[in-house]
Structure 1
Amino acid sequence: MNTYLSNKLKILSLIAMVLVVFIHSYIETTTNNTLMSEAIAFLQYFISQGVARVAVPIFFTISGYLYFLSYQNTTNDYIIKTKKRLKTLVLPYLLMSFFIVLCYTFILDPLFGHYINKSINIFHNSITDTLKVIFIDPLPYQLWFLRDLILLILLAPFIHYLFKFLKVYFIFILVLLWLPITSFSFYIFSNEAILLQKRKGNVYYLITLVWLLALTIKSIVNIKLGINNEISDILLKISIIMGGISIWSLYDICIKSETPSKILFTLSSYSFFIYLIHEPLLLSTFKKISNVIIRKNELFLPFFYFFNAIITIILCIIIAKGLQKYTPKLYSIITGGR
């Protein structure tokens, strides 16, 4: 991996993380069939249910590339890589999941239990429910990505052999099953030869325009038919593929130098920490507070939609900097040594 690709992966991780926060920043609202109401709905659909949906495939692609970089497909290599992921993936997953359970049990549930949609108290719930919410269905719902990534890593040799023997047929099967955000992007697009290519030219501008057009149509369909409908599902799948190619190529077009701006590079180091802590304590809290105002006047929704996401990201970075300064060892453990 050369310096350009290394920096590119870091910046794209930051961009994808910001998009994930905007996915979760989506504010439920009732469309009143007025022009203003539909415009607000379009804004959220276009960003949270459109542009931002490329974030997860980007994360899986980057994770797959980093895993299969120098992959030997030997038992010893598999053991070494798996042990390393215990520190970088499993430990942060368990720590954050358990920490949030403790927060809900000793702080949130006693004080704000009536206002919380999903809660757990280890003194009131069964051991089975508590273990499930720590290991399988964590309260910080964004951890599903780490959970699935851990599973994919455990299955890496199996995925490798499938691709080795089935080759192009394996890709075809995955496309039919529509798994672009799991095994598909995790393994297929992790090929270094594909990622090292710089994508510039008019064709990528065209792909970007098609992507934005598909998202525009999809957002309009969402307003008329709701999120769950076959047309939106098809357009979403098309837009995810187009969007991934667009963002990947737009980086090559926009970033001229091998090393990006120092600010972006510094912020990119906090991507994983933002991922870990932005939900449910920060962003959900801001959404609940802003909903009090939005119920009185829907015109405030666009402001809070952006404000909640931005202030959450800023707070995550401030917390990260504080931990790095006063408890660097703890920060390193939480982030898996990142």
Structure 2
Amino acid sequence: MTYYLSEKLKVLSFVAIILVLYIHSGFHDIPNEIQGMAFNHYLQESISGMLGRCAVPLFYVISGYLFFLHTDKGISDIGRKMKKRIKTLLVPFVIAALFFPAFYLLMEQLPFTGNYINGEEAFSKNLQLPVAEILTSLFWHVPEGTAPWAFHLWFLRDLIIIVAISPLLYYVRKAIRGSVLTFVLFLLSFFQFEVVPVYALFWFMAGDAFLVKLDKVNTYWIPAVFIVLSVLELAFPELPWKQVRIPIIALGIVSIWNLYNRIVPITFELKKHKWLAIACQFTFFIYLFHEPTLNIVRKLLVVLLGHSSLGFAINYLVSPWIFACLFILVGYCFKKCLPRNYAVCVGGR
């Protein structure tokens, strides 16, 4: 991996986490939010829905590329990477999963906080459930749902599952070409599987098979097609867009990948851009703990900006950046004051 590519992955990961913040900063069509505010609806759908849907697949693509990088020694390298992922993925997942209910329980003890967190009922009622159901909701998914209490952790949960089956992936990948395996997973993504996250697995293996080849796909028509399809999807949402979701997202990822190459020169060095370099250090920290803390920022802004179309629009546009700046500061202080604790929380990143 070249130095330019290494820096590129760091910057694009930070861009992706900003898009994730936009996804979770949107307001809904319910009373006292953006019901009937068409401009706000289309603004959110354009950023969170059309562009934002590329964020998580991009994380999987990068993860797949990095996982199978430097595995020339065979299954022993896969075992080494699996062992490393216990520290870098599993431990942070457990900590973040426990942080989510702990934060809600803390908020219940503080007066005047109910309006700044989601949920109509006290979270402590969940702790009256059977132990097995509590553990399932913490680390797998809530009843009748697809994500755990800390709903944003579904990405990390599925990534851990993929790493757990990586020896099998390694042998299948070795038996057939990576591109063939990716195509098979694409076909399987149209079906529902209870345990195996096929959708995530598709992007993970696509990163291994195609990421380094994207630089060769340097054409203007790809972002143009992505934009046109996104506009059509906004205009005609009743059409069966779900059937072509993956190809459209792939066009978006290729567009982002090559746009970076056009904007950032080959001589770029992240260390020479102090604030961007600092921000990129806390991408994973922001991901782990942005829920439910992000809600406080965007709901406080509602108090300041009001329940108007313009107020909601400004709130939506700025809250991810305000939160990112605040959490970069929190992460920086945490890392400086308690470096060992911080290292454990983010898996040594």
Number of aligned positions between the proteins: 325
Partner of 2:152: 142
Q: Is the 8 A contact 1:25 1:283 kept in 2?
A: yes
Deviations 1:9-63 (A, max 9, x none): 11111111111111111111269xx9x8322211111110111111111101111
1:231 is matched with which residue?
240
Greater helix proportion = 1
Match of 1:272 in 2: 284
**Aligned: 1:198 with 2:215:** yes
Match of 2:172 in 1: 162
Q: Which runs of 5+ in 1 are unaligned?
A: none
Q: How does 1:186-265 map to 2 (within 5 A)?
A: 186-191=204-209, 194-195=211-212, 198-199=215-216, 201=218, 203=219, 205-222=220-237, 225=238, 230-234=239-243, 236-261=245-270, 262=273, 263-265=275-277
For 1:292-307, list aligned pairs within 5 A: 296-307=307-318
What do residues 74-97 of structure 1 show as CA deviations (whole Å, max 9, x unaligned)? 453333222211110011110111
Instruction: Find the counterpart in structure 2 of residue 128 from structure 1.
Output: 132
Q: 1:256-310: per-residue Cα shift (whole Å, max 9, x none)?
A: 1333451323321111111111111x21223444556788423311111012211
Residue 235 of structure 1, CA deviation: 5.4
| AA aligned opposite 2:224 | L
After TM superposition, the structure 1 stretch with the greater mean CA deviation from structure 2, 143-152 or 128-137, is 128-137
Q: 1:242 offset after TM fit, Å?
A: 0.7
In the TM superposition, residue 119 of structure 1 has moved relative to its aligned partner by: 5.8
Alpha carbons 1:22, 1:48 under 8 Å: kept:
yes
Determine if contact 1:40/1:302 at 8 Å carries over to the other structure: yes
Deviation at 1:194, TM superposition (A): 4.6
* Alpha carbons of structure 1 residues 172 and 151: separation in structure 2 relative to 1, 3 Å: same
Moved more, 67-76 or 287-296: 287-296
C-alpha distance in 2, partners of 1:326/1:77?
35
1:206 aligned partner, one-letter code? W
Secondary structure of 1:66's aligned partner: helix
CA distance in 2, matches of 1:294, 1:323: 31
Determine the structure 1 residue equivalent to 2:337: 326
Residue 39 of structure 2 aligns to which amino acid in structure 1? A
Q: Indicate conservation of the 8 Å contact 2:89/2:160, yes or no.
A: yes
Distance 1:182 1:86 in 2: 19
SS in 1 for 2:290: helix
Residue of structure 2 equivalent to 1:89: 89
The answer for unaligned runs of 5 or more in structure 2 is: 142-147, 191-197
Equivalent AA in structure 2 for residue 198 of structure 1: D
The CA RMSD over aligned residues, in Å, is 2.8
SS in 2 for 1:29: coil
Contact 2:65 2:211 in 1 (8 A): no
CA contact (8 A) 2:138 2:150 kept: no
How many Å separate the matches in 2 of 1:44 and 1:235? 21
Normalising by structure 2, report the TM-score: 0.83
* Cα distance between partner residues in 1 of 2:172 and 2:216: 29
The SS at the match of 1:198 is helix
Q: 1:312 matched to which residue of 2?
A: 323
Q: Distance in 1 between matches of 2:14 and 2:224?
A: 23
